[in-house]
Amino acid sequence: MKIIRWIVATGLRIGLEILCRIEKKELEKVPATGPLIIFSNHTGMVEVPIVFSELLPRPVTGLAKIESWDNWFLRIIFDLFHIIPIKRGDADMEAMHSMLRVLDEGFILGMSPEGTRNKSGALLKAYPGVVILALKSNSPLMPVAHWGGEDFRSNLKRLKRTDFHIRSGRLFQLDARGEKVTKEVRQQMVDEMMYQLAMLLPPQYRGAYSDLANATEKYLRFID
């Protein structure tokens, strides 16, 4: 299975590098070992395979809605790369246990706090589910912002390469500072995370987090 994963991932990376001009140097900031939650914006269909394939050979996985397993092709690919199925709209404890397990095994886990693909390219208000995972696992987090991928389909139709930009932010952990982690605290934590992501994006992509003057860092403990 490892050989099959390597063949598929290598073919995917080569194909995407032909179709896209990928500005990937900032991925060198990603730690070489240890558990890590990477959180990013979700604008289209191409950013996940690009970032995924460029991070290999690090063990990398992510989440996908459980309905995706109804598609036989996606089921094969997702199972091959240990993608975790999640039931949207529910407190999916089975998915939470799977996420904690892969982090404990030293994986990079990719997540999108927006919860769904945004069609405009601008950030949506985030959901705080990633906060619970980060606190339970005590895993470091890193914002990885990207843009350009939202034009991939239209560029492909015109036989034009897509310029795909990637920016990586500072590594940090969430710290409740001894406070009770209420619903309001969880939302502030994820909003602080999203402002770190917004700072990496051009202004037109910042959406719900456009006003950087509102950014706080109360619950972020940066790792040098």
Q: How far is CA 188 from CA 68, 128, 164, 220, in A?
A: 31, 9, 30, 11
Report the domain count for the chain: 1
Span 186-210, mean pLDDT? 97
CATH of the domain at 189: 3.40.1130
pLDDT class of 87 with cuts at 50, 70, 90: confident
Query: 80 pLDDT exceeds 80?
Result: yes
Any idea what the Cα angle at residue 157 is, between residues 155 and 162, rounded to 5°?
Answer: 20
- What is the rounded average pLDDT for all residues in the chain? 93
Cβ-contact 53, 101 below 8 angstroms: no
H or E element, residue 198:
helix 183-198
- Write out the residue range of the structural domain in which residue 107 sits: 2-222
pLDDT at 90 (0 to 100): 67
pLDDT in tens, 24-62: 999 999 999 999 999 999 987 799 899 999 998 889 999
Confidence check: pLDDT of 15 > 90 = yes
Whether the per-residue pLDDT at 2 is higher than 90: the answer is no
